[in-house]
Amino acid sequence: APTVAQEDFLSLKDYSSEEILDLLNLAIELKKPENKHLPLLKGKVLGMIFEKSSTRTRVSFEAGMLQLGGHAMFLSSQDTQLGRGETIADTARVLSGYLDGLMIRTFHQSAVEELAEFSSIPVINGLTDDYHPCQVLADLMTLTEHFGELKGRKLAYIGDGNNMANSLMIGAAKVGLDIAIAAPKGYEPQAEMVDLAQAIAKDTGSVVTVTHDPVEAVKNSDAIYTDVWASMGQEAEAIKRLNDFAGFQVNAELVQHAKADYIFMHCLPAHREEEVTADILEGPHSVIFQEAENRLHAQKAVLVTLMGD
């Protein structure tokens, strides 16, 4: 397993380009059928705190821990004392006495940071309102499987300047992949996130751009990515967003501007005929289920790196 300077996996911004490439290489190794059951985390236990719903994250972490010889424990915030107001700081110190690692999916990035600060075990970010680093690691793995070297390739992200947009910008910048974000006015990624990604990109030679024109973003791209228009926690805005995101659908017309052998990506779950049409989602360029599978392999690489002996 690669050695990393970080104890936790909170955002890709904390990882160097080399560390990210090492994690990707390890993930590709662990994906080989003969390596599926390497007992690298024998007897170790991962706790998984969920304050939002999940299919992929929960199941891939749980399956991954079992395949590595360990165990994972689902901790719904509803059913633990967290839901009754026990603090994150107390929870962190209690759980550190039982577990070897903690994954958390929650709203505020600050909650993940607080958990990490008070835990004596590694903490992994399983999605916040700001970031989704596990997804992006799986996405970079998927891109690598398709294109090999990512330097000089271009990813277009069409839609909401949300957790996926932020993490994709940072991840792309770290590995030297160009990224163009197209978002409606008012839904651009926060300026500080764009500044951060552009600062990272300066060192790696990647180009990070933000536009309001989906065609401009997609032009000459190797991959097109989209995500839901209303994320978890934004359900009340869903109708308004349908209007505001008109013209930002990934459909047959838009993808014509990409390279002929482009791939279509989506973190899932998807809303058909909203952010993407069914023909694109199910079409020959779509790699959505490879991406979903790669969550397992990418996270096993993170688990082994942070929790292995």
Cβ(169)–Cβ(133) below 8 Å: no
Q: What is the distance between the alpha carbons of residues 183 and 159, in angstroms, rounded to a whole number?
A: 5
What is the 8-class DSSP label of residue 99?
-
Compare residues 257 and 271 and give the one whose CB is closer to ligand NVA: 271
84 is in an annotated binding site: no
Of 55 and 81, the one with the shorter C-beta distance to ligand CP is 55
- Active site residue: 227, 249, 266, 297, which one? 227
| Binding-site member from 8, 62, 227, 275 for ligand NVA (CB under 6 A) | 227
Catalytic residue among 8, 67, 132, 241: 132
What is the rounded distance in angstroms from the CA atom of residue 28 to the CA atom of residue 49? 27
> Scanning residues 253 to 282, which ones bind ligand NVA (CB under 6 A)?
267
Query: Binds 55, which of ligand CP, ligand NVA, none (CB < 5 to 8 A, cut-off by type)?
Result: ligand CP
Say if residues 158 and 216 touch (Cβ distance below 8 Å): no
- Short-list 304, 299, 307, 268, CA closest to 141: 299
Q: Which is the catalytic residue, given 153, 241, 266, 295?
A: 295
Closest by CA to 302, choosing from 123, 152, 145, is 123
Among 306, 303, 300, 296, which residue's Cα sits nearest to residue 56? 296
**Per-residue contact string for residues 19-58; x = within reach of ligand CP by CB under 6 A:** -----------------------------------xxxx-
Tokens of 180: 């163009």
How far apart are CB 46 and ligand NVA at their closest, in Å? 19
Which residues make up the interface to ligand NVA (CB under 6 A)? 127, 162-164, 227-228, 231-232, 267
Which residues make up the interface to ligand CP (CB under 6 A)? 54-57, 127, 135, 267-268
